[in-house]
Amino acid sequence: MSNTLFPVFLKTETAHFLIVGAGNVGLEKTETLLRQNPAIRITIVGTIIIPKLKEIIVSYSNIDAFERPFQESDLEHKDFVIIGTDSSEVNLEVRNLAKAKGIKVNAADQPDLCDFYLGSIVNKGSLKIAISTNGKSPVLAKRMREYFTAVIPDDVDESLDQLNQFRANHKGDFKQKLNDLNRITAGFTTKKKLGYWNKIKSYFE
């Protein structure tokens, strides 16, 4: 099997991320995390914090930042580490120290150092789709994100709310409920690209 990744969606309310490196990579990773949860707890450590990242840091009380080299003590009470320095030696050192403490690591552009990847993410209300190329082509993952963002309508939450309410109010057993939900969403398996969401809505009008 060439791809053994197992997609998991993390609840970020109690997670604490450490980002080592405060350049363009650190900026990108910070923005990625904040898009998923503006209240996510982040600590950033970097010898030089670029101006645009500083602007973000001062805007969020849930971000701590230290303009200095990485220290092993930075790993204390962290759940995940994202490494984005321009030094492969520093990256490897941080990774090994984090692994020794049982902390999961992502290292930008160094798949061999990663325990997890940050995929391209499609956000449409309650619908979230994560896309990964197993570290082979982040550019393709980005293009796939753009495609799905364009195809999925912005009001998809209305359909999700209706389906959720239908499931909650359904009086049949599990098999009956599953059959009815499959019938309502059957249009998703066709090759037609338009009308999926309108078809779902029509069941509740």
Q: What is the residue-wise DSSP string for 14-83?
A: S-EEEEE--SHHHHHHHHHHHHH-TT-EEEEEESS--HHHHHHHHH-TTEEEEES---GGGGTT-SEEEE
The reported pLDDT for the residue numbered 194 is: 47
The reported pLDDT for the residue numbered 136 is: 81
CATH architecture of the domain with residue range 1-118: 3-Layer(aba) Sandwich (3.40)
The reported pLDDT for the residue numbered 165 is: 83
Q: Which CATH class is domain 119-152?
A: alpha beta
The reported pLDDT for the residue numbered 180 is: 76
Query: What are the start and end residues of each CATH 3.40.50.720 domain in the chain?
Result: 1-118
Tell me the mean pLDDT per 10 residues along the chain, length 205.
85 96 97 96 98 98 98 98 96 97 94 90 90 85 90 84 81 80 68 50 51
Query: What are the start and end residues of each CATH 3.30.160 domain in the chain?
Result: 119-152
